[in-house]
């Protein structure tokens, strides 16, 4: 054998054997490490049989601690008097869309409006006011549901008399065929609607209703407070049944007071009897009719509406003040079961420009009369369009809200001394108070007629409008004998800025009558830059209720 070749071969075998041995040793080491790691890891996760927990101390539930939170005390105090209201609207043979259940103001913010003749304001797309039902609206058909099928809706209420008298929203029970009430002690059985209830009386203008159940005497009741004492920033609680979740309590603060929620249109249209407490306490569908409670445990409002784009709470809710509730309740439980409000038979514009107030001489306060109902108190006393009411029985009147609040609270058949301005001179008149519910007049719709195209006129350059003669059919519907109709408005012009629109009929400019095109041109030709200009205008939807006023200062 050649030993010179055998030596290298032996050396190679030894090296390969060494490497294999080292590799196996490394794998064994890794395996031991992995197993050890697994044991260590499992030891960390723990096995009861291997861990001594004899030194562990059991947890205990501590005794209740009073955290000085009045919220819980108030919830316990008031909660039992808050009820769940379920309503059922039966199928109707002929489905007709109902009128708005909230009264809207007259076309000029007057005191003789008829709620049934009004349309919702511009905020209706965002303000879901009637949120008694699970879907958002209360009552059949009005929420887009099929009026050919039975419809159930949900709301809340609170007991004010231990004999079973309950206050809630009118829109919760409006048009319902069956009304049921569940007390806090009646349980949560979804198949049990509750105790039958019947309506004692309703007031659509304030959206307040009184219902009654037959129940054992001694029912728990809420304590009503004085809403005038509530201040912006005060803590409040809302209790109700949102989404069928009974006895739900939410907290927030008073965000604002005396808040109207119907955005006035160009003619100042708002509901005069709905001025709310605004709160950021969460209010949701089903809360409607429940109480808003102050930190004294007193009800200072009834949750009525929310401003929302999602049908859920967005921190802007509205509650009818308790002082209004008390006044309405006391009338609804009376023999006639209705609210009687005084009226003098006028309408007025709630919001006017500074130019209009200067032109008509009431920049320091007062109410400008837009129209007078023939044969009623103000008309018989000689009050006319353009008069400015400045006092009642010698007491100064700041605005229309104050006028309505005073007159509506007076007894029908009594008289009142009105102080008013006419052409800058002071006058007084004794005016008979009438029943507001008997003064409403149906407004005619003046639309549907297209005026002929107008030629260039004197107001095109200064005002930015073109006018023409008023078509006979429009004049008849509006109850007027003269004026000019606006046929076009130039975008960005003076007329556009102050709110004049195509179809408006101008009857006066700066208190000077506009009977026809000639008189219109005469008045306009005398206007110059810097002049205050006030237009008396009949709007297409204003009917025969009187003119609206638009104005500004000519640039």
Give per-residue pLDDT as tens, 214-251. 887 789 999 999 999 999 999 999 988 777 677 788 98
Look at residue 482 and tell me whether its pLDDT is greater than 60. Answer: yes
The answer to whether 89 and 150 have CB atoms below 8 angstroms apart is: yes
Q: Which of 272, 305, 332 is the last residue of a domain?
A: 332
Q: Same domain, yes or no, for 480 and 510?
A: yes
Q: Same domain, yes or no, for 328 and 348?
A: no
Q: Same domain, yes or no, for 376 and 484?
A: no
- Reported confidence tier of residue 516, pLDDT bands at 50, 70, 90: confident
Q: What is the pLDDT of residues 166-191, one digit of tens each?
A: 999 999 998 888 999 989 888 777 67
When pLDDT is averaged across residues 404-431 and rounded to a whole number, the result is: 91
Task: List the catalytic residue out of 111, 142, 174, 207.
Answer: 207
Q: Is 82 left (phi over 0), alpha (psi -120 to 50) or beta?
A: beta
Is 427 labeled as catalytic in the residue annotation? no
Look at residue 425 and tell me whether its pLDDT is greater than 80. Answer: yes
Task: List the catalytic residue out of 106, 156, 241, 288.
Answer: 288
Q: Same domain, yes or no, for 293 and 372?
A: no
Q: Is the pTM of this model over 0.85?
A: no
Q: Same domain, yes or no, for 106 and 244?
A: yes
Q: Which of 291, 309, 332 is the last residue of a domain?
A: 332
Which range of residues forms the domain containing residue 380?
A: 342-438
Q: Residue 71 in 3-state DSSP?
A: helix
Q: Same domain, yes or no, for 296 and 376?
A: no
- Quote the pLDDT of residue 444: 30
Q: What CA–CA distance (Å, rounded) separates 328 from 168?
A: 12
Pairing of strands 223-224, 298-306: parallel
Task: List the catalytic residue out of 145, 171, 241, 548.
Answer: 171
Is 171 labeled as catalytic in the residue annotation? yes
Q: What CA–CA distance (Å, rounded) separates 101 from 288?
A: 14
Q: Same domain, yes or no, for 97 and 229?
A: yes
How many structural domains are present in the chain? 3
Q: What CA–CA distance (Å, rounded) separates 75 from 82?
A: 10
Q: Same domain, yes or no, for 321 and 368?
A: no
Residue 228 lies in a domain: yes
CATH label of the domain that carries residue 484 = 2.30.42.10
Q: What CA–CA distance (Å, rounded) separates 155 from 132?
A: 5
- Tokens standing for 471? 């078509």
Percent helix, strand and coil across the chain, each rounded to 5? 25, 25, 50
Spell out where 322-447 has E strands: 342-343, 346-348, 367-372, 388-392, 395-396, 415-422, 425-432, 434-435
Q: Is 339 left (phi over 0), alpha (psi -120 to 50) or beta?
A: beta
Q: Which of 376, 404, 438 is the last residue of a domain?
A: 438
Q: Same domain, yes or no, for 477 and 433?
A: no
Is 151 labeled as catalytic in the residue annotation? no
């Amino acid at each position: 054998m050649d030993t010179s070749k055998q030596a290298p071969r032996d050396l190679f075998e030894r090296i390969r054997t060494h490497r294999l041995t080292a590799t196996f040793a490394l794998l064994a080491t890794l395996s031991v490490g992995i197993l050890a790691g697994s044991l260590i890891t499992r030891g960390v996760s723990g096995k009861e049989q291997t861990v001594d927990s004899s030194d562990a101390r059991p947890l205990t539930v501590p005794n209740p601690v009073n955290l000085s939170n009045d919220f819980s005390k108030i919830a316990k105090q008031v909660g039992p008097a808050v009820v769940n209201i379920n309503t059922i609207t039966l199928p109707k043979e002929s489905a007709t869309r109902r009128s708005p259940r909230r009264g809207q103001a007259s076309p000029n913010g007057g005191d003789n409006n008829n709620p049934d003749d009004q349309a919702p304001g511009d905020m209706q797309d965002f303000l879901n006011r009637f949120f008694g039902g699970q879907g958002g609206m209360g009552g059949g058909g009005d929420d887009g549901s099929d009026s050919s099928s039975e419809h159930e809706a949900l709301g809340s209420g609170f007991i004010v008399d231990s004999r079973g008298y309950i206050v809630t929203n009118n829109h919760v029970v409006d048009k319902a065929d069956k009304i049921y009430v569940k007390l806090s002690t009646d349980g949560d059985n979804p198949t049990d609607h509750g105790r039958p209830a019947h309506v004692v009386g309703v007031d659509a203008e304030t959206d307040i209703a009184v219902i009654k159940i037959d129940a054992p005497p001694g029912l728990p009741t809420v304590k009503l407070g004085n809403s005038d004492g509530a201040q912006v920033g005060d803590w409040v609680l809302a209790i109700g049944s949102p989404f069928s979740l009974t006895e739900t309590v939410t907290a927030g603060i008073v965000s604002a007071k005396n808040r109207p929620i119907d955005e006035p249109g160009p003619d100042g249209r708002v509901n005069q009897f709905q001025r709310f407490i605004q709160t950021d306490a969460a209010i949701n569908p089903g809360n409607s009719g429940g109480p808003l409670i102050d930190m004294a445990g007193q009800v200072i409002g009834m949750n009525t509406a929310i401003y929302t784009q999602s049908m859920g709470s967005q921190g802007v809710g509205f509650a009818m003040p308790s002082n209004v509730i008390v006044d309405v309740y006391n009338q609804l439980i009376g023999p006639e079961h209705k609210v009687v409000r005084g009226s003098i038979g006028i309408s007025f514009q709630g919001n006017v420009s500074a130019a209009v107030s200067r032109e008509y001489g009431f920049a320091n306060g007062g109410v400008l009369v837009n129209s007078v109902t023939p044969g009623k108190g103000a008309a018989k006393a000689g009050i006319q369009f353009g008069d400015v009411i400045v006092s009642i029985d010698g007491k100064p009147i700041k605005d229309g809200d104050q006028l309505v609040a005073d007159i509506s609270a007076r007894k029908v058949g009594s008289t009142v001394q009105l102080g008013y301005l006419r052409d800058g001179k002071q006058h007084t008149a004794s005016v008979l108070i009438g029943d507001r519910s008997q003064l409403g007049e149906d407004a005619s719709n003046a639309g549907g007629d297209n005026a002929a195209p107008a030629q260039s006129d004197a107001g095109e350059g200064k005002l930015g409008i073109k006018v023409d003669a008023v078509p006979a059919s429009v004049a008849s519907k509006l109850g007027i004998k003269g004026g000019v109709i606006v046929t076009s408005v130039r975008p960005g012009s003076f007329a556009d800025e102050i709110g004049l629109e195509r179809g408006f009929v101008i009857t006066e400019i700066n208190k000077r009558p506009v009977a026809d095109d000639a008189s219109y041109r005469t008045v306009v030709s005398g206007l110059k830059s810097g002049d205050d200009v006030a237009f008396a205008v009949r709007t297409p939807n204003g009917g025969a209720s009187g003119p609206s006023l638009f104005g500004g200062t000519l640039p």
